Amino acid sequence: MKSARIAYAGGIHLASEHNGLPRLADGRVLAEDAVIWLPPVEPGTIFALGLNYADHARELDFKAPAEPLVFLKGPRSLCGHRGQTLRPSAVAYMHYECELAVVLGKTARKVSRSAAYEYVAGYTVANDYAIRDYLENYYRPNFRVKSRDFATPLGPWLVDAADIADPMNLSLRTLVNGRVVQEGVTRDMIFDIPSLIAYLTEFMTLSPGDMILTGTPQGLSGVNVGDEVVTEIEGIGSLKNTIIGDSEDRAHVG
């Protein structure tokens, strides 16, 4: 099953997927542009992985990490399908990052690799934009880059874990203005999903709604104001986002 959270007619609704469109609980099927798409999950803690694909580490001239390189993101960093993300005018290089997002479904503590998938509720698509001007090293200042308001589109659908036979064998790709610019496959992760869940739950408790953004493969290029960026993952969905400039910045809203 695929589900989404949408704003429509003054309320927030949990919708199911019907031929690619949101269907309300009363059966009404709505046009894609008739609703405001919200992140499909109300987030708990948002974990994100750096350099979790060896080819991506190489293109940035880094060595692959010996253990997961994990950082946290603020909940206001998320926006939904068809949302807008700011490219500040002063930056030189901002790029997309197509990522598989893993959503936890139950409380997890000291989970073994073999049991890890039992704790996954589902999967969605993330686009974890980065501004390279502000990234100096592993530790600083990821917060300035990765917790920017609306800089991480998520969605459109949450796909039940039971509907994805092998999350470690899914193709990913990114299109900018209809042109394919990034392609990869989840099996090329350095640390796979069970490893990440086992690693995190060794020293902390994860809760339902917590999510793990699992990193991006190689193929990065810059985005500019007006670009339409689509990040796609096989079996999960296509997430559309538009880049806006300073004059359109809505980060002060609500």
pLDDT of residue 132: 85
CATH homologous superfamily for the domain 39-248: Fumarylacetoacetase-like, C-terminal domain (3.90.850.10)
Residue 35 confidence (pLDDT): 98
The CA distance from 52 to 43, in Å, is 22
- Cα–Cα distance for residue pair 229/180, rounded to 1 Å: 10
pLDDT at 82: 98
- Tokens 């979790």, residue located: 52
Q: Does domain 1-38 have CATH number 2.30.30.370?
A: yes
Average pLDDT over the chain reads 92
| Structural domain boundaries in the chain | 1-38, 39-248
Q: Residue 52's pLDDT is what?
A: 93
Kindly tell me if the per-residue pLDDT of 210 is higher than 90. Answer: yes
Give the pLDDT of residue 85. Answer: 97
pLDDT, one tens digit per residue, over 168-182 is 999 999 999 999 999
Who has greater pLDDT, 117 or 133?
Answer: 117
Q: What amino acid is encoded at 189 in this protein?
A: M
Q: Are strands 2-8 and 152-160 parallel, antiparallel or unpaired?
A: antiparallel
Task: Give the percent of the chain with pLDDT over 90.
Answer: 82
How many CA within 13 A on the CB side of residue 40? 30
CA-CA-CA-CA torsion sign (151, 157, 173, 180):
negative
- Cβ–Cβ under 8 Å, residues 73 and 146: yes
Tokens (6 digits) for 76: 């206001």
Q: Is the pLDDT of residue 254 over 90?
A: no
Q: What is the pLDDT of residue 58?
A: 73
Whether the Cβ atoms of residue 156 and residue 81 lie closer than 8 Å to each other: yes
pLDDT band, residue 247 (cuts 50/70/90): confident
Q: What is the pLDDT of residues 188-200, one digit of tens each?
A: 999 999 999 999 9
The amino acid sitting at 228 is E
**pLDDT class of 253 with cuts at 50, 70, 90:** very low
For residue range 21-66, list pLDDT tens digits in order.
999 999 999 999 999 999 999 989 999 998 898 876 677 666 778 8
- pLDDT for the residue 137: 58
Return the structure tokens found at 169. 């064998």
Which of helix, strand or coil describes residue 115? helix
CB burial readout 93-107, b (16+ within 10 A) else e = ebbbbbbbbbbbbee
Name the residue with higher pLDDT: 26 or 141.
Answer: 26
pLDDT at 152 over 90: yes
Structure confidence by residue, pLDDT tens digits, 68-87: 999 999 999 999 999 999 99
> Residue 122 corresponds to which tokens in the numbers above?
């589902």
Which amino acid is it at 21? L
For 120, the enclosing helix (H) or strand (E) is strand 120-127
CA distances from 120 to 34, 49, 104, 209 (A): 31, 17, 5, 10
Residue predicted with more confidence, 135 or 147: 147
Instruction: Work out the average pLDDT over 224-230.
Output: 98
Q: For residues 139 and 47, which has the higher predicted lDDT (pLDDT)?
A: 47
Q: Are 43 and 29 in contact (CB under 8 A)?
A: no
**65: closest CA among 84, 80, 51?**
51
Exposure string of 136-174, with b = 16+ CB inside 10 Å and e = fewer, is eeeeeebeebbbbbbbbbbbbbbbebeebeebeebebbb
> Do residues 189 and 56 touch, judged by C-beta distance below 8 A?
no
Band of pLDDT at residue 212, cut at 50, 70 and 90: very high
